[in-house]
Amino acid sequence: SQQGEEDPQALSIQEGENATMNCSYKTSINNLQWYRQNSGRGLVHLILIRSNEREKHSGRLRVTLDTSKKSSSLLITASRAADTASYFCATDSIIQGAQKLVFGQGTRLTINP
C-alpha cells in the first residue's frame, strides 16, 4: 500500500479561491515533497519540507507539516486556471530495508474559470 495518501481525491473550485490538499503518511519520515503533474506529462517538484520544519512557502504555495499527526497540507492561494493538475505528496520511507521515495495517489485539482 502507498505510504502517503492524499485527500480529497478530487477537488473542483472557482478561479481565485484557495485550494487545500492534505497528505497523510504512516511511518516516520526525514522529509516530505509535493509534486504537480499536468495531464500526460512528467511531475514537477514544488516544495520539499524537512521533518524539523513546520511550514514552508513558495510564491502562492504554502506547505505545512505536522509530524505528530503524520500529515501535511498544501495550500494554493488565489488559484488560476493554470493550477489545474494532479498534486502528489511523496515521502521517504524505509521499505524492506531500503530508503525509498514513495508517492501517494494524488489529488486531482480543477480550477473553473
Q: Which residues bind another protein (CB under 8 A)?
A: 2, 30-31, 33, 35, 40-45, 48, 88, 90, 92, 98-106
E-assigned strand segments in 1-113: 4-7, 10-14, 19-25, 31-37, 43-50, 55-58, 61-66, 71-76, 85-95, 98-103, 107-112
Distance spanning both ends of the chain, measured CA to CA: 36
Q: What is the Rg, in whole angstroms, of the alpha carbon atoms belonging to the chain?
A: 14
Task: Kindly state the smallest distance separating residue 44's Cβ from another protein, in Å.
Answer: 7
Taking the least distance from each CB to another protein, the nearer of 15 and 105 is 105
Taking the least distance from each CB to another protein, the nearer of 40 and 59 is 40
Task: Kindly state the smallest distance separating residue 33's Cβ from another protein, in Å.
Answer: 7
Taking the least distance from each CB to another protein, the nearer of 14 and 39 is 39
Task: Kindly state the smallest distance separating residue 14's Cβ from another protein, in Å.
Answer: 27
Task: Kindly state the smallest distance separating residue 42's Cβ from another protein, in Å.
Answer: 3
Classify residue 29 by its DSSP letter: -
Residues facing residue 87 across a β-bridge: 36, 107
